[in-house]
Amino acid sequence: MTISIATLFEYVTYNVVLSTEKDYYSENSRTLHLTEETLNELEKINKTNKFLDIGRKTLKPRNCIGVVKAGSITIEILPKLFKDDRYEQHRAVIARNLLKMLSYSEKLSLKEIDSADLDTEELDFFEIFIYFFAKNLNELIKLTQRREYIKNSEELRFIRERIDTRRYTNPARLHIIPCNYHELSIDTTLNRTLKYTCYLMSRMVKNFNSFRLLRSISGILDSVTLYPVSLAEIDRISFTRLNRKFEPFIRICRIFLSHSTLTLQASDVETFSLLIPMETLFEEFIAKVIKEDPDYFFGPQTSVSTQQYIGKLASSEDGSGVFNLQPDIVIKRGPDVAIIDTKYKLLDDEKRKYGVSQADMYQMYAYVTKKDAISSMLLYPDTELKEQRTFYYNLENEGKRSVPLYITSIKLSYDLTNEKEWSEFRKDLRNVLTKFFPNLNLLGFTKLN
């Protein structure tokens, strides 16, 4: 079957054949038929956001997920959450799981993920993602439209705030007063960014509900100027406690606009990319799940911190510290500490070291010694790993002791939006964490059934 939307999966190699007429994807043979112009567009996008390994006759997605439109084809990239070839049969479950994981991300926060009113079997990930972006933003913007004081300069017949004395020099026009003043306005860079992005998205979505929500946002922001917002302007937006809730949406807008040739004018040649690193998403998801319910995973009176700064790796000649140490998850009870770092990589059961990198081993060693940890873990997504493995750090300071480093993985092929399977996933994660911390009794942890 040939289609103009290609659903590809990370780390899978696909054939590429040069096409002279149009772009399309042969699903049965896993072959992309691309024109030379489309290949050039993909290579251009790939230079700024390395998401593909492009060979002479092959293409392999890396660990970024999302959607790229180039030429007349849309490429949807999804993670391999299922073993073997089963991932291709469960595209809808994978898309829903991505949304669940995104709901736990602080950087790309989509809190409302009920997909009951969407056909996730038919819609691609981009359509589903935009729907929830629009749905969450629509709810927020109904409650509050951010206003800011904008500086204006105008000639008035009365004094407003401050007279511009440099311009108030014509004796014949003393009744006209040039003033500099500030006015509370909705026409801010933040709101312009939201409106511009929603307008461009509304031109691309096929789902009517998404289109309606995006246009509803534009309607609420009717008095906001619609014009192309530059990335430099977006980067100058300052976030405070008053507008912090809009930060994840502005971040999505920036991702979308930074790799897009869409304009206010209609165009047949439109390219864009919306790509999210799975490594960051996996890290945030696991950390947030554990942190929101530490009693369930480790027993009572346990504190869990994420991305905690624990010091510097070394010092420079002037005595200042260099290289921050910041593990993903630190578990603490009393004086005892255990450390978990998540790694979104493929492990190889056949290799002596399972494919664990030397850099990761050194990184965990630095964490263990800095925090005087009693246990540590590298946690990966479920792969072909048949057995878990344990390495040991033999430390000499204050008497010899051996600190285990557990190499293990967690299955992500549950339907995380299903209440029963979500419960099974949490139980699985708990078993992984408790099984590979045999010193839990030192932390005062209790084995849970």
C-alpha dist (Å) from residue 54 to 3, 112, 139: 21, 36, 41
Q: Is 355 left (phi over 0), alpha (psi -120 to 50) or beta?
A: left
Q: Is the pLDDT of residue 370 over 80?
A: yes
Q: What is the tens place of the pLDDT at every residue in 381-412?
A: 875 555 678 888 888 765 678 888 888 889 88
- In this prediction, residue 111 carries a pLDDT of 54
State the sign of the Cα–Cα–Cα–Cα dihedral 128, 134, 140, 146.
Answer: positive
- Within 272-346, strands assigned E span 272-277, 303-306, 311-315, 321-325, 329-333, 336-342
User: What strands, in cross-sheet order, belong to the sheet with 177-185?
Assistant: 148-156, 177-185, 162-163
pLDDT above 90 covers what percent of the chain? 14
Is the pLDDT reported for residue 84 higher than 50? yes
Domains, in order of start, for the chain: 148-185 (no CATH), 293-443 (3.40.1350)
Is it the case that residue 91 has pLDDT exceeding 70?
yes
Lowest mean pLDDT segment, chosen from 22-31, 263-272, 339-348 = 263-272
Residues with Cβ < 8 Å from 162, sequence gap 6 or more? 179, 180, 181
Which amino acid, 448?
L
Instruction: Enumerate residues 6+ apart whose C-beta is below 8 A from 239.
Output: 246, 247
In this prediction, residues 260-276 reach a mean pLDDT of 63
Provide the 10 A C-beta neighbour count for residue 69: 24
Residue 47 sits at the vertex; the CA angle it makes with 200 and 342, to the nearest 5 degrees, is: 90
pLDDT at 181 over 50: yes
Going by C-beta distance under 8 Å and a sequence separation of 6 or more, which residues neighbour residue 211?
A: 202, 205
Q: What is the pLDDT of residue 437?
A: 60
How high is the mean pLDDT of the chain? Answer: 81
* Spatial CB neighbours of 34, under 8 Å, sequence gap ≥ 6: 16, 17, 18, 19, 23, 42, 71, 73
Q: Mean pLDDT over residues 318-338, rounded?
A: 82
Q: How far apart are CA 87 and CA 348, in angstroms?
A: 19
Report the share of the chain in percent with pLDDT over 70: 83
Q: How far apart are CA 441 and CA 330, in angstroms?
A: 17
Cβ-based neighbour number of residue 368 at 10 Å: 22
pLDDT of residue 423: 94
**Rounded distance between C-alpha atoms, residue 386 and residue 382, angstroms:** 10
8 Å CB contact between 440 and 298:
yes
286 pLDDT higher than 90: yes
